[in-house]
């Protein structure tokens, strides 16, 4: 029965709109999708606006009216964006005022209580000590493998390792800045001075940056070193190889 029905010759559903096609039932659906006389077939306006619409709406289409509607919609969106931007600007201004008031408040508190600054410094110092003590002591076996001018990518990798190890946020950026010879003290500033002072390297108390061929040499642990060999809050030394943990 299905075979018989599929072979029936029938006219297109759009015959009333001018289609003269006569085809088999099993071909009807594919024909309807492409039938040029289908009133709902998508049609693009050729008068200039480019709007896509059903074919049976072309006769009532007005480009100017459509474009005016588009402009109005865009103007509405712009107005909403301006309103949102103004609200954000107002919120940002309020936040800045709050921050300024908070800073002024903190300055007033410090002025009234000079010991508060010392207390904050003590808390920060204790945090640094706690972090340093959590790191594994390290020994450098090949000082010649030192990378004195690490690029931004390598510095970013070391910075991530410092953060992951629990390094206090207040000194992370300082340590990364001190990973490059441009910020090193006089005794390490150039290849010549490093070669002359290499005999002092074994006196460094170094801690390994977890998982990296790098060590941190903190000022709080290296007060025995001269001022030309250490820097506050510490130095980061990166190596191509030769860093071992002291178990």
pLDDT tens column, 8-24: 778 887 777 788 888 88
Q: What is the pTM of this model?
A: 0.52
To which H or E segment does residue 198 belong? none
Strand order in the sheet with 146-147: 146-147, 234-239, 214-218, 206-208, 137-140, 243-245
Q: What are the tens digits of pLDDT across the range 103-133?
A: 676 666 556 666 545 655 666 788 888 999 9
3-state class of 66 per DSSP? helix
Q: What are the tens digits of pLDDT across the range 33-65?
A: 778 777 777 777 767 676 777 776 766 767 767
Classify burial at 215, counting beta carbons within 10 Å of its beta carbon; exposed 0-12, middle 13-18, buried 19 or more. buried
- Cβ pair 33, 18 in contact under 8 A: no
- Cα separation of the two ends of the chain: 87
* Rounded-to-integer distance, Cα 194 and Cα 200, Å: 10
């Amino acid at each position: 029965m299905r075979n018989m029905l599929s072979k029936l010759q029938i006219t297109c559903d759009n015959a009333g709109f001018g289609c003269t096609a006569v085809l088999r039932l099993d071909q009807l659906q594919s024909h309807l999708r492409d039938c040029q006389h289908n009133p709902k077939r998508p049609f693009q306006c050729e008068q200039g606006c480019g709007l896509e619409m059903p074919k049976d709406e072309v006769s009532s289409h007005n480009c100017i009216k459509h474009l005016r509607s588009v402009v109005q919609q865009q103007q509405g969106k712009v107005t909403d964006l301006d309103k949102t931007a103004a609200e954000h600007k107002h919120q940002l201004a309020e936040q800045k005022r709050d921050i300024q008031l908070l800073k002024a408040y903190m300055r007033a508190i410090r002025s009234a209580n000079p010991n508060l600054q010392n207390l904050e410094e003590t808390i920060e110092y204790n945090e640094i000590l706690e972090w340093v003590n959590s790191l594994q002591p390290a020994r450098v076996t090949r000082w010649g493998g030192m990378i004195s001018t690490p690029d931004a990518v390598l510095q970013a990798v070391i910075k991530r390792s410092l953060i992951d190890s629990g390094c206090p946020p207040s000194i992370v950026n300082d340590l990364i800045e001190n990973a490059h010879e441009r910020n090193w003290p006089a005794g390490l500033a150039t290849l010549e001075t490093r070669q002359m002072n290499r005999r002092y390297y074994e006196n460094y108390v170094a801690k390994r940056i977890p998982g990296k061929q790098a060590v941190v040499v903190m000022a709080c642990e290296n007060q025995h070193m001269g001022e030309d060999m250490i820097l506050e809050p510490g130095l980061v030394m990166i190596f191509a190889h030769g860093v071992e943990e002291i178990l």
